[in-house]
Amino acid sequence: MGKDVIVACDFAGREEVLSFLDKFTEEKPFVKIGMELFYAAGPDIVREIKRRGHKIFLDLKLHDIPNTVKKAMAVLSGLDVDMTNLHAAGTQAMMEAAIEGLTRPDGTRPILIAVTQLTSTSQERMERDILIEKPINEVVMHYAETAKHAGLDGVVCSPLEAEAVHEACGSQFLTVTPGVRFAGGEVGDQVRVMTPEQAKKIGSDYIVVGRPITAAENPVAAYRRCVTEFVDE
Ligand SMILES: O=C(O)c1cc(=O)[nH]c(=O)n1[C@@H]1O[C@H](COP(=O)(O)O)[C@@H](O)[C@H]1O
């Protein structure tokens, strides 16, 4: 695992996502299934996309009391996804419970990563709306260290923070980075952004790219541009 482009398939339902994936005749992108698609199409869409040969990041961002998260993770572990996530803000105890729930009887489990501060959050909003007054980098780093202590495999963060996370938590600790835009592209609701090329330079392990690919006139070409900028030597 590592150094791949994950396509955020934020679609309204089964038909939409499958017709999008049908465009990829030569490659099998790593697919992220998020809340919109999962709530619309349920666990069957996970199984169906997996059967088509894609790796899957199931992005449901769990955040609840430890027992609830543990039980929910036990259900998700049966879906055979490659990666899933939760909010680090749920605390170390919640993250430890999540690992317990996610681990199958044979000891295997999907990669588990923790969302730190969402890439749509600015310093100003964090201070005003959630009363966290530390510098955002410090907050991300603290969440990353807590996730590491809990035994998680990495974090979701902005590419802007990936280098510091690796310095603090080690190069094996994964940085999965959304908030990726082509140079000059529409930023939309993202705040902490970088290009695929910059994300590669600072050492992100995976970039998560949604609208720059899904809303592109030619999604396959946009995906290949991401791979060229981020993965290829
Ligand atoms: O966990 C995530 O994947 C995630 C965390 C985060 O901090 N920011 C973030 O944008 N995401 C997800 O990454 C994707 C980014 O999509 P685009 O903004 O369209 O490229 C969306 O599916 C978000 O739900």
Q: Are 69 and 86 in contact (CB under 8 A)?
A: yes
Alpha carbon nearest to ligand 1 atom 20, residue: 210
Q: What's the whole-model pTM score?
A: 0.97
Q: 149 is written with which tokens? A: 């202590």
Pocket of ligand 1 (CB under 6 A): 8, 10, 34, 59, 61, 85, 115, 118-119, 156, 178-179, 188, 190, 208-212
Q: 131 is written with which tokens? A: 């009363």
Backbone angles phi, psi at 138, to 5 degrees: -65, -40
Cα 172 from Cα 102, distance rounded (Å): 20
CA 190 to ligand 1: nearest atom: 18
Cα 137 from Cα 157, distance rounded (Å): 10
- Assess if CATH 3.20.20.70 describes domain 4-230: yes
Cα 149 from Cα 38, distance rounded (Å): 30
Give the domain ranges of the chain: 4-230
Residue 1 pLDDT: 54
| Residues with catalytic function | 59, 61, 64
ipTM of the complex: 0.98
Q: For a pocket test of ligand 1, which of 20, 58, 59 has the largest count of ligand atoms closer than 8 A to its C-beta?
A: 59
Which residues in the chain come in under a pLDDT of 50?
A: none
Residue 233 pLDDT: 76
Residue 175 pLDDT: 98
